[in-house]
Amino acid sequence: MPLQIRAFDAGHPVDLLDLDWQLPLDRWPDASLVALPRGISRHVVRFARAGDEVVAVKEVSEWAADREYGLLRDLDRLGIPAVDPIAVVTGREAADGTPLEPALITRHLNGSLPYRSMFETTMRPGTVNRLLDALAVLLVRLHLVGFAWGDCSLSNTLFRRDAGAYAAYLVDAETGEIQPKLSDGQRDYDIDLARVNIAGELMDLEAGGSLHPSVDPITFGEAIVARYADLWHELTYESVYPTSKRHYIDRRIRRLNDLGFDVAEMQIQRSPAGDTVTFLPKVVDAGHHQRQLLRLTGLDTEENQARSLLNDLEHWMATQDDYAPGDPHGARPEVLAHRWVRDVFRPAVRSVPADQVRGRMEAAQLYHELLEHRWYLSERAQGDVGLEATVASYIADVLPHVPDPSAVAAAPEDGAGVSPAPATAD
């Protein structure tokens, strides 16, 4: 059977043809590969360059490749943070005609790291907590759309910096399944699996001397259960309010917005006696601040980055002469937001040399860090130092210490299947 590349993105198949499909992945030459942090995988995985993009290639059976490809496309349509599927490659043969295993190709998630690379410098307990918060949010989002993961773990997740927190992305959908709605038992199974896997992964780090002494693997493994339960309850529980306190419904919706969720569909019922009102969120969508920032500015960011940028945008708007909320003669928020992007956001980001920041962080993360640094400098100076001085100080004092994901050393492979690519790590 001739080599076949099945893809829905018409811009990639031609570039993919240039890769070394006649060789097993573990024999691909270094010239074809991209050095990125290594993860642990049951399969052989490699990062390679296809045209202008970096892709992750995983050798797996054709049935498994097709299934995972379809699930990742479904998650993309549902707006779930996961790696982007690009293609399935079949019909691979060595030069002597020996059949080679098919491959699943996904897009590298820029600026992301597997958890093991993050622990190469002993991570403080507060940072471990932020990773678990991000993983809990991802698991809740998956369960809200009916996706049973079946293998939730730190190893199957990539993390990107998101303002002062992290955003978690699913990188392995091999064991997953999408249903109209999950039962409590299915959700409990995923949560218990996450608890066991996380405790085991932290114990492994502890054995290798990469875990902070104050981090107890069992305690932190159990913490994911509590984090998930709290968030799930907040997003799904039924509220009963006195009729005279109907404004509590608006208050709860605002609380959900503060958590980063929108109530897309709700059920409100008045009791037969008319003395109480019941409120139940029926459809909850993540990304409240992301959507708000995207609508105003066209910037597509992580949720916490969006929250940070929106705060700066609102403060900047208040300084503009034509800012007049509620006044039909004042400038519309969209107009002011466009001006902010043009006159504030872009100039600040472009002031940092691209070659110094490329690969380390996205523009939104860079701007957030500039805002944080500006606050620090202004506090020290007892007055606003401005963005120009902030950028100069950031380039000199902060940026040299920001880690470059591509510079993290890759661990050598062994018989257990250690791979140089986390993007489809198992």
Domain locations in the chain? 4-108, 113-236, 239-286, 290-403
* pLDDT surpassing 70 at residue 36: yes
Average of per-residue pLDDT across 264-276? 88
What is the pLDDT, as a whole number, of residue 358? 63
Chain mean pLDDT for the chain: 86
CA 412 – CA 262 distance, rounded (Å): 45
What integer pLDDT is reported at residue 426 of this predicted model?
A: 34
Residue-wise pLDDT tens digits, 312-339: 999 999 888 887 777 777 788 889 999 9
Q: Residue type for 248, please? A: Y
Residue 294: pLDDT over 90? yes
Instruction: Report helix, strand or coil for 374.
Output: helix
Q: How confident is the model at residue 1 (pLDDT cuts 50, 70, 90)?
A: low
Least confident range from 3-7, 254-258, 357-361, 415-419: namely 415-419
Task: Give the pLDDT confidence score for residue 247 in this predicted structure.
Answer: 87
pLDDT tens-digit profile of 358-401? 667 889 999 999 999 999 999 999 988 988 899 999 999 988 87
Task: State what percent of residues in the chain have pLDDT above 90.
Answer: 56
What whole-number distance in Å separates Cα of residue 324 and Cα of residue 303?
27
For residue 296, pLDDT beyond 50: yes
User: Alpha-carbon dihedral of residues 146, 149, 154, 159, nearest 10 degrees?
Assistant: -40
With respect to CATH, is domain 113-236 assigned 1.10.10.60? no
Helices marked H in 103-238: 115-118, 125-144, 184-207, 217-236
Quick one: which H or E segment has residue 377? helix 363-381
Cα 167 from Cα 300, distance rounded (Å): 14
Any idea which fold 4-108 has? Phosphorylase Kinase; domain 1 (3.30.200)
Reported for 363-368, long-range contacts at CB under 8 A and 24+ positions apart, including other chains, are 363/299, 364/299, 364/301, 364/302, 364/305, 364/306, 364/309, 365/111, 365/161, 365/162, 365/163, 365/302, 365/305, 367/308, 367/309, 367/312, 368/163, 368/305, 368/308, 368/309
Task: Give the pLDDT confidence score for residue 196 in this predicted structure.
Answer: 96
| Domain 4-108 matches domain 113-236 at the CATH topology level | no
Is residue 68 scored above 80 in pLDDT?
A: yes
- pLDDT bin (cut points 50, 70, 90) of residue 12 is low
For the stretch 165-208, pLDDT in tens is: 899 999 999 899 999 999 999 999 999 999 999 999 999 988 88
pLDDT of residue 209: 85
pTM for this one? 0.84
> How far is 57 from 102, CA to CA, in rounded Å?
10
